[in-house]
Structure 1
Amino acid sequence: MKLNVNYKILTLDVNNFGTTSRIHPVLIWDGDGATLVDAGYPGQFEPLRKAVEQEDVPFTHIRRVIITHQDWDHIGTLPDILRTLGSKVEIYAHSQEKPYLEGSIPYIKTTPERIAARLRSLPENMRAKAAAVFAGIPTARVHRTIADGEILPFHGGLQVIHTPGHTPGHVCLLLKSHRLLIAGDQLRVEQGFLVGPAEEYTPDMVTALASLKKLVGMDIDGVSCYHGGFFGPNASERIAELAAAGNSHSSNF
């Protein structure tokens, strides 16, 4: 029986130490349950749950959470999800992200030095609250690791594309049934334009730009960007332009 595969690019509002923005996890579902791609900031569990259930998908139908990479705005609600769903849900991530997510080694972008610099950049009245947030960035067990080129056997096939640079194990996912690339932070939408990864948050920009070339030639009509939302149609043409130019733009995301 052919399943009717649906997806929704969710929108969660963020007030991050006085700066407002939006992030966009992706929900995919069919008759065999649901998959959530990325999980928001710490403290966003209730908005995330409500966004899922507004699509008439019970939160308990989520069978797996795929994490595109380790950054705190993508992993923040994992403890809440695991407490709520228990053994019904599994966490997926690339093998190179697993030791970070599980706490074996410190997250790349939340080292004590980087946190201290971030706190110094904030107004004094925000520093204590921000320090508490950074101290509580979660870890979680990764139940299954995923690899470059793997076709995950649900929702009509979800292809894993390893796109390192932003982090070592960053992945994009191609939802084949909808020709939708779920890009994590490898691509962004700024003022209606599809652009590359944000340099200030990408430790290995050379590798990140090289990773763009892996997306060229794929059957991609639309792109879901965690920062900026949807870009399309005919997104493959713009991806080819970015890869050829080695393009990246700075942003406040």
Structure 2
Amino acid sequence: MNHTTLNFKMLTLERNPFGATVAIHPTLLWDDNGATLVDVGYPGQLKELTTAVEQTGVLLKHIKRIIFTHQDWDHIGNVTDIQNALGNKAEIYTHVNERDYIEGVIPYIKMTPERVQARLQSLPENIREQAAGLFTNIPTAHVYKTFEDKDVLSFHDNVQVIHTPGHTPGHMCLYLQQHRLLIAGDQLRIQDGILVGPAPEHTADMRVALQSLRKLQEYDIDYVICYHGGLYGPQAAVRIAKLIAEYQ
């Protein structure tokens, strides 16, 4: 099946639910087989997301699929509003180890009552009530299909799933072979212009997450889209190798 050249665009959403300007970066993929959105942002970001998508020339209604790199609420929080806008027509995909969390069968790892309380206490007092409302309404969604490590997408050419557990059990990256590009989710971040590993304070199992970094050596990665930090490259593979050595 030939879907022609796969286009991609890193999106930038700048306003989080608490009014702070903290950029996050979903990714839009599209070709003759329609559009796929990788991660969807915080609750309440539908308008901003729609604007970012449509600036690429793709209409929101052209989105056929949503892929979640993992379960965290800054990646999935906007899904109910998007599904409502699309008439519940978008198919949702994620790694098999994330399915039960996203479907609400078991609580999100980082949204246990203890963790929510700790997070609320860390916020300024004037926004705690608003935050508490958001935290108690983290959406769930029906997962259409799950992936496993090294699966290749059936709907876009030469895109491979890389299971990178640790940040969450089913965290995954996507490798776009045509573009030598890694969509890294939270497996990699950019801090002060430097590519670094996952944030320890937000990672469920840092030891496993660092082991997952080594998987990335198998791929010819020139550029990386980090959900937190944006685009890194060229020669990202060189930095990834150094990063792995630093964590030994």
Alignment TM class, shorter chain as reference: over 0.9
Q: Deviations over 1:118-172 (max 9, x none)?
A: 1122232211111111111111111100110101123322100000000000000
CA distance in 1, matches of 2:170, 2:132: 26
CA distance in 2, matches of 1:138, 1:16: 15
Given residue 33 of structure 2, which amino acid in structure 1 is its aligned partner? D
CA distance in 2, matches of 1:82, 1:15: 20
In structure 2, the CA distance between the partners of 1:47 and 1:163, relative to structure 1 (3 Å rule), is same
Given residue 96 of structure 2, which amino acid in structure 1 is its aligned partner? S
Are 1:95 and 1:145, in contact at CA under 8 Å, matched by a contact in 2? yes
CA distance in 2, matches of 1:16, 1:90: 25
Q: Deviations over 1:11-68 (max 9, x none)?
A: 0003453643100000011121111100100000111011101111011111111000
Are 1:217 and 1:236, in contact at CA under 8 Å, matched by a contact in 2? no
Q: Note the 1:1-253 alignment, pairs <5 A.
A: 3-17=4-18, 19-246=20-247
CA distance in 1, matches of 2:95, 2:139: 17
Cross-structure match for 1:251: none
Superposition RMSD in Å: 1.4
Are 2:3 and 2:31, in contact at CA under 8 Å, matched by a contact in 1? no
Are 2:17 and 2:43, in contact at CA under 8 Å, matched by a contact in 1? no
Name the stretch that deviates more: 222-231 or 112-121: 112-121
CA distance in 2, matches of 1:16, 1:242: 32
Given residue 228 of structure 2, which amino acid in structure 1 is its aligned partner? H
Q: Deviations over 1:59-84 (max 9, x none)?
A: 11111110000000000111112112
> Displacement, 1:246?
1.3
Q: How many residues align?
A: 247
- In structure 2, runs of 5+ residues without a counterpart are none
- In structure 1, runs of 5+ residues without a counterpart are 248-253
Given residue 58 of structure 1, which amino acid in structure 2 is its aligned partner? L
**2:175 aligned counterpart, secondary structure:** strand
Are 2:161 and 2:172, in contact at CA under 8 Å, matched by a contact in 1? yes
Given residue 109 of structure 2, which amino acid in structure 1 is its aligned partner? I
Q: Deviations over 1:205-237 (max 9, x none)?
A: 000000000001311110000000000011111
Are 2:167 and 2:209, in contact at CA under 8 Å, matched by a contact in 1? yes
TM-score (structure 2 length as normaliser): 0.96
CA distance in 1, matches of 2:131, 2:11: 25
**2:106 aligned counterpart, secondary structure:** coil
TM-score (structure 1 length as normaliser): 0.94
**1:96 aligned counterpart, secondary structure:** helix
**2:109 aligned counterpart, secondary structure:** coil
CA distance in 2, matches of 1:125, 1:57: 38
